[in-house]
């Protein structure tokens, strides 16, 4: 890339906001949260507006400059790898343009951090239900681009379900304005959904209109000890039926997870004296006065209902033990154990990672069969599992006895075979990035892959947007001469 192009981008964003990839300020932009992926970008641009993004992409198209959009860099699949490319960091586009309690919507720029939306919604007695461990760093543009999930998907859906409108800049610099606040719009193809989960390969998301929900006026958070994962679905169904669908989170931590937590992050403590085969973190959120208004004796109806339901399940032997949080601090301690999952995997070093989705009644068989396959291929390997059980999403990390790409590939193939036999998906919420490209090639329906490649070619014919990610084997772009500027 030429010094002229550098100066041209500098004149768009200002000298302070274009960093050379080899410079000292570039370090934070040269790796992701996992630390497994490192790169040296050509430069990092920090635009402050949609117009600036548009001007940069027009220049990029004219010069065939590859562009990798960046949010909070908490992605877990290598989707930010940007060797020799221009990183487009949306961090300065961090304004909440509007938030409206009446329509329960917020209009946010792509660089707004999720916890900023949580705080702004909270001030209005509302809640933005995209909630996961990285919420203090992940940005809404990144969360939409990965169609992130998290702990509340069970009740409120993934990022896609929370997005009403979108603004994106296309690979040729044109601005696609789909910033509606409509809950229904059947005017042709749903283009908004094309950019959600596209991981920056089809356009740069610059703003979105998101849905807010009423803030729970009472939470009941409990840790449950079960002897058998097969019983967990029964527990979830009974809590849902008794409460009228108020379960917001139903998270799964098996014995090995709790034991590894005790070993590596002992300050987080343990809920039960004896580690159970299955530990569940369940949370219900209620807004209706009949559920949240204290009784004369001070008890809260929704808490009583959960206690009674769990009491019945303990009597039946479905649940062995249960603890209900009695304070904000206790609730926080329960969540800290669950939200330590990514950190727990990271401190244990390199692993072969799976982020799979399964029908709710096949999670148990999946774990049994996946662990059997892992033991067959590497008898000394051990696993760490955690999951959003309520929506059928399991994160499985396999710590192998040796760093051997062939072994990793054999384990990936074997575990994904199990997923396929059980009618699941090899990718639930983290996206594809670089790390799951092989799985896309092997597992995705060939017709679906062909349609994806055609969409990519139509929207980004020069293949400059986040090249090499998400869809494998994108054909080389036609050898067109650069457009005159």
Ligand X SMILES: Cc1cc2nc3c(=O)[nH]c(=O)nc-3n(C[C@H](O)[C@H](O)[C@H](O)COP(=O)(O)OP(=O)(O)OC[C@H]3O[C@@H](n4cnc5c(N)ncnc54)[C@H](O)[C@@H]3O)c2cc1C
Which residues are near ligand X by CB under 6 A? 33, 68-76, 79-80, 90, 110, 132-134, 138-139, 141-143, 145-146, 148-150, 199-200, 204-205, 342, 429-430, 433, 466, 469
Compute the distance between CA of residue 286 and CA of residue 283 in angstroms, rounded to an integer: 10
- In angstroms, what is the minimal distance from the CB of 30 to ligand X? 13
- In angstroms, what is the minimal distance from the CB of 480 to ligand X? 24
- In angstroms, what is the minimal distance from the CB of 333 to ligand X? 17
Residue closest to ligand X (Cβ): 142
Dump the DSSP string for 15-41: GGGEEETTSGGGGGGSB-TTSS-B---
Compute the distance between CA of residue 303 and CA of residue 286 in angstroms, rounded to an integer: 10
**Residue-wise burial string across 47-79, b where 16 or more C-beta atoms lie within 10 A, e elsewhere:** bbebebbbbbbbbbbbbebbbbbbbbbbbbbbb
Q: Which is nearer to ligand X, 149 or 271 (CB)?
A: 149
- In angstroms, what is the minimal distance from the CB of 70 to ligand X? 5
- In angstroms, what is the minimal distance from the CB of 332 to ligand X? 16
* 474 and 453 Cβ atoms separated by less than 8 Å: yes
In what side-by-side order are the strands of the sheet with 321-324? Answer: 321-324, 218-226, 278-286, 247-254, 382-388, 393-399, 352-357
- State the pairing for strand pair 96-100/86-89: unpaired
Q: Which is nearer to ligand X, 146 or 318 (CB)?
A: 146
- In angstroms, what is the minimal distance from the CB of 419 to ligand X? 18
Q: Which is nearer to ligand X, 260 or 309 (CB)?
A: 260
Q: Which is nearer to ligand X, 130 or 322 (CB)?
A: 130
- In angstroms, what is the minimal distance from the CB of 156 to ligand X? 13
> DSSP state, 398?
E
User: CB atoms < 10 A from the CB of 403, how many?
Assistant: 9
Q: Which is nearer to ligand X, 52 or 291 (CB)?
A: 52
- In angstroms, what is the minimal distance from the CB of 346 to ligand X? 9
Q: Which is nearer to ligand X, 205 or 225 (CB)?
A: 205
Can you list the alpha helix ranges (DSSP code H) found in 217-300?
232-243, 255-264, 289-292
Q: Give the C-alpha distances (Å, rounded to integers) separating 73 from 81, 90, 140, 149, 482.
A: 10, 11, 12, 16, 31
Q: Which is nearer to ligand X, 40 or 401 (CB)?
A: 40
Q: Which is nearer to ligand X, 59 or 82 (CB)?
A: 82
* 345 and 397 Cβ atoms separated by less than 8 Å: yes
Q: Which is nearer to ligand X, 207 or 398 (CB)?
A: 207
- In angstroms, what is the minimal distance from the CB of 184 to ligand X? 25
Compute the distance between CA of residue 9 and CA of residue 17 in angstroms, rounded to an integer: 9
> DSSP state, 141?
H
* 397 and 352 Cβ atoms separated by less than 8 Å: yes
CB within 8 Å of 334: residues ≥ 6 apart: 221, 222, 223, 271, 281, 325
- In angstroms, what is the minimal distance from the CB of 89 to ligand X? 8
**To which residue do tokens 């050379």 refer?**
20
SS3 289: helix
Q: Which is nearer to ligand X, 32 or 416 (CB)?
A: 32
Compute the distance between CA of residue 319 and CA of residue 309 in angstroms, rounded to an integer: 10
- In angstroms, what is the minimal distance from the CB of 341 to ligand X? 7
Q: Which is nearer to ligand X, 80 or 437 (CB)?
A: 80
Query: How far does CA 435 lie from the centroid of its chain?
Result: 15
Q: Which is nearer to ligand X, 78 or 271 (CB)?
A: 78
User: Burial level of 283, CB count in 10 A (0-12/13-18/19+)?
Assistant: buried
- In angstroms, what is the minimal distance from the CB of 138 to ligand X? 4
CB within 8 Å of 28: residues ≥ 6 apart: 73
């Amino acid at each position: 890339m030429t010094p002229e192009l550098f100066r041209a981008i500098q004149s768009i964003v200002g000298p302070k906001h274009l960093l050379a990839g080899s410079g000292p300020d570039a370090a934070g932009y040269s790796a992701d949260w996992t630390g497994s992926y490192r790169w040296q970008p050509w430069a990092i641009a920090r635009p402050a507006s949609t117009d600036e993004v548009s001007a940069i992409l027009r220049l990029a198209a004219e010069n065939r400059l590859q562009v990798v959009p960046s949010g909070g860099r908490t992605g877990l699949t290598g989707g930010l790898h940007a060797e020799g490319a221009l990183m487009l960091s949306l961090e300065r586009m961090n304004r909440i343009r509007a938030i409206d309690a009446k329509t329960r919507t917020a209009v946010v720029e792509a660089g707004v951090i999720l916890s900023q939306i949580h705080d702004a919604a909270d001030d209005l007695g509302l809640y933005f239900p995209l909630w996961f461990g990285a919420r203090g760093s992940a940005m809404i543009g990144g969360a939409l681009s990965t169609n992130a999930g998290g702990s509340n998907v069970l009740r409120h859906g993934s990022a896609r379900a929370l997005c009403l409108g979108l603004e994106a800049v296309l690979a040729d610099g044109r601005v696609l304005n789909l910033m509606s606040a409509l809950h229904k719009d059947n005017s042709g193809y749903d283009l908004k959904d094309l950019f959600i989960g596209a991981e920056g390969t089809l356009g740069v998301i610059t703003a979105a209109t998101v849905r807010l929900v009423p803030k729970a006026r009472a939470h009941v958070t409990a840790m449950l000890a079960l002897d058998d994962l097969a019983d967990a679905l029964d527990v979830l169904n009974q809590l849902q039926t008794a409460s009228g669908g108020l379960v917001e989170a139903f998270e799964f931590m098996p014995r090995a997870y709790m034991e590894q937590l005790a070993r590596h992050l002992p300050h987080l403590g343990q809920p039960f004296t004896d580690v159970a085969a299955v530990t569940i973190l369940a949370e219900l959120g209620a807004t209706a006065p009949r559920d949240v208004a204290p009784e004369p004796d001070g008890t809260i109806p929704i808490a009583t209902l959960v206690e009674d339901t769990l009491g019945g399940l303990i009597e039946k032997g479905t649940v062995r033990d249960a603890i209900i949080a009695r304070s904000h601090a206790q609730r926080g301690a329960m969540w800290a154990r669950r939200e330590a999952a990514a950190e727990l995997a990271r401190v244990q070093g390199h692993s072969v990672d799976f982020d799979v989705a399964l029908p709710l009644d096949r999670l148990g068989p999946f774990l049994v069969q996946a662990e059997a396959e892992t033991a067959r291929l590497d008898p000394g390997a051990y696993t760490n599992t955690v999951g959003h059980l309520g929506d059928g999403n399991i994160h499985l990390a396999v710590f192998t006895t040796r760093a051997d790409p062939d072994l990793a590939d054999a384990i990936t193939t074997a575990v994904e075979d199990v997923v396929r036999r059980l009618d699941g998906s090899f990718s639930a919420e983290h996206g594809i990035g670089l790390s799951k490209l092989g799985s896309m090639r092997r597992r995705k329906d060939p017709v679906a892959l062909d349609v994806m490649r055609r969409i990519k070619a139509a929207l980004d014919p020069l293949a400059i947007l986040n090249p090499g990610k998400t869809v494998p084997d994108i054909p080389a772009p036609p050898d067109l001469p650069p457009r005159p500027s």
